[in-house]
């Protein structure tokens, strides 16, 4: 296990001073404006962005091409922002890593870095909220409730940290894909999620391809519309999990507010990049969503939608009453969809032994809300 101390907090503890700008959540243009307003050349802001994002440095002292007075001003008046402290779990048997990140208020979130052994690239699954208010009945994060939104700089820093960790282990490793499928519902925190996509795809920074970024939602219709209007180029995944409104309501209460028909309507109008299509995530739970009749209902439901279906056998977790189906049922379910000419993959979740698989991210033992906050209030 590796523990690393990180950034100084953005707030001057108890001094009454205003909150400092958190630079890791700012665009090159915003950084240019910041340094210009402080009396320095605007182009220094762009250099600052490159240090923070492309090189991922952690202290102003390392920014060697910035003049001393600017570094001193930054030290005095700003914060790099991001994660306060990070811990890396031991490697999973499948080669994945789970990161436990402590934020500047002591809250914790998790991310999982997963290898694709065949095509030799890595995918990071990031969190977008501390906890989650959506309350999907099959998810540990939902079970623990909602704490707070994550800021842009905190979302971005999960990527910077994981990329740095990976490249320390193997400088040639291909850090390529990003999925917003960790703790939280990304489209109940759409502003910071969209901003983080813009920062992470900036060619002067991490320079991820938007085509390699996927935002997964439980079906938050206003957030889906906002994401589509933002034209980030990111792909969309919808956590479907059951083929009818009634079945969905039983395991995903959010469906009462955003009915399945409305969700599919937004999917139909989503501005997918060329050759891209929506991914429907479908958690297979024994006797509940894995039956042949469920697969047969799914076939007409998705007809006409450019899509692929990811089947995710349920990952058992303490406190959740559901079971994983046997392989025969999983095969049968997949076959029905494939015979109807859908593209289907079965996602045998990574990092199962670390508790880092889909629906298993909990942040911290004992990190529970006293009263679960309703999604209506977000």
Contact positions toward ligand SF4, by CB under 6 A?
Answer: 132, 134-136, 139, 141-142, 183-185, 218, 359
Q: Is 120 a catalytic residue?
A: no
Distance separating alpha carbons of residues 292 and 345, to the nearest angstrom: 17
Q: How far is the CB of 155 from ligand SF4 (least distance, A)?
A: 14
CB nearer ligand SF4, residue 31 or residue 181: 181
As measured in angstroms, the least distance from the Cβ of 312 to ligand SF4 is 11
Query: What are the start-end ranges of the H helices in the chain?
Result: 28-37, 43-49, 68-77, 140-144, 152-169, 190-200, 221-230, 245-251, 254-257, 260-269, 292-302, 327-339
d(CA 23, CA 34): 10
- Residue with smallest beta-carbon separation from ligand SF4: 142
Q: Which is nearer to ligand SF4, 91 or 226 (CB)?
A: 226
Residue 89 near residue 97 (C-beta atoms within 8 A): yes
Query: Tokens 């959010």 sit at which residue?
Result: 254
Task: Report how far residue 82's alpha carbon sits from residue 155's, in angstroms, rounded to the nearest whole number.
Answer: 8
Q: Are strands 97-102 and 213-217 parallel, antiparallel or unpaired?
A: unpaired
Q: Which is nearer to ligand SF4, 188 or 213 (CB)?
A: 188
How many whole angstroms separate alpha carbon 287 and alpha carbon 265? 29
Q: Which is nearer to ligand SF4, 9 or 253 (CB)?
A: 253
For the CB of residue 235, give the shortest distance to ligand SF4 in the complex, in Å.
17
Closest separation in Å from C-beta 309 to ligand SF4 = 17
Least distance from ligand SF4 to the Cβ atom of residue 216, Å:
7
Asked if 132 is an active-site residue, the reply is: no
Q: Which of 98, 307, 128 is nearest to 215 (CA)?
A: 128
Q: Of 125, 139, 307, 358, which is the active-site residue? A: 358
Min separation Cβ 282 and ligand SF4, Å: 12
**Closer to ligand SF4 by Cβ: residue 169 or 256:** 256
Q: Which of 102, 110, 154, 195 is catalytic?
A: 110
Q: How far is the CB of 171 from ligand SF4 (least distance, A)?
A: 33
Question: Cα–Cα distance between 288 and 44 in angstroms, integer?
Answer: 57
Q: Cβ(27)–Cβ(84) under 8 Å?
A: no
DSSP state of 270: -
Helices vs strands, H then E, count in the chain: 12, 13
Residue number, 7 or 158, with CB nearest to ligand SF4: 158
137 vs 332 by CB, closer to ligand SF4:
137
Can you spell out the DSSP letters for 315-374? ---TT----PPPHHHHHHHHHHHHHTT-EEEE---TTGGGT-STT---SSTT---SSPPP
Contact assessment for residue 343 and residue 334, using Cβ atoms and an 8 Å cutoff: no
Residue that is written with structure tokens 């922002």 in the block: 81
Dihedral of CA 86/192/60/205: which sign?
positive
Q: Which residues are catalytic?
A: 110, 358
């Amino acid at each position: 296990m590796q523990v690393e101390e990180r950034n100084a907090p953005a707030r001057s503890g108890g001094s009454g001073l205003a909150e400092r700008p958190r630079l890791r959540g700012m665009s090159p243009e915003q950084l240019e404006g910041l340094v210009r307003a402080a009396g320095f050349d605007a182009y220094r802001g762009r250099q600052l962005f490159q240090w923070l994002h492309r090189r991922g440095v952690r202290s102003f002292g390392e920014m060697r091409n910035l003049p001393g007075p600017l570094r001193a001003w930054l030290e005095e008046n700003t914060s790099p922002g991001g994660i306060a402290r990070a811990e890396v779990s031991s490697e999973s048997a499948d080669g994945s890593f789970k990161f436990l990140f402590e934020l500047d208020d002591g809250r914790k979130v998790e991310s999982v870095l997963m290898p694709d052994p065949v095509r030799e690239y890595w995918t990071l699954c990031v969190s977008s909220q501390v906890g989650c208010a959506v309350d999907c009945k099959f998810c540990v994060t939902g079970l623990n409730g909602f704490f707070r939104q994550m800021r842009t700089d905190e979302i971005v820093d999960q990527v910077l940290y994981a990329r740095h960790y990976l490249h320390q282990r193997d400088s040639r490793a291909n850090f390529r894909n990003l999925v917003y499928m960790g703790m939280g519902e990304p489209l109940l925190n759409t502003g910071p999620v969209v901003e983080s996509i813009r920062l992470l795809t900036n060619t002067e920074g991490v320079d991820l391809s938007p085509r390699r970024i996927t935002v997964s939602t439980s079906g938050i219709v206003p957030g889906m519309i906002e994401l589509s209007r933002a034209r980030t180029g990111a792909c969309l995944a919808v956590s479907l999990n059951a083929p009818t409104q009634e079945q969905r309501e039983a395991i995903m209460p959010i469906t009462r507010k955003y009915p399945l028909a409305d969700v599919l309507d937004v999917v139909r109008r989503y501005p997918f990049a060329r050759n891209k299509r929506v991914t429907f995530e479908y958690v297979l739970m024994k006797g509940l969503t894995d039956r042949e009749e469920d697969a047969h209902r799914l076939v007409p439901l998705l007809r006409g939608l450019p899509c692929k279906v990811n089947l995710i056998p349920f990952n058992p977790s303490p406190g959740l009453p559901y079971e994983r189906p046997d392989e025969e049922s999983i095969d049968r379910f997949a076959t029905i969809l494939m015979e109807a000419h859908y593209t289907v993959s079965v996602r045998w979740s990574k990092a199962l032994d670390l508790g880092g698989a889909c629906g298993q991210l909990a942040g911290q033992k004992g990190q529970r809300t006293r009263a679960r906050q309703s999604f209506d209030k977000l």
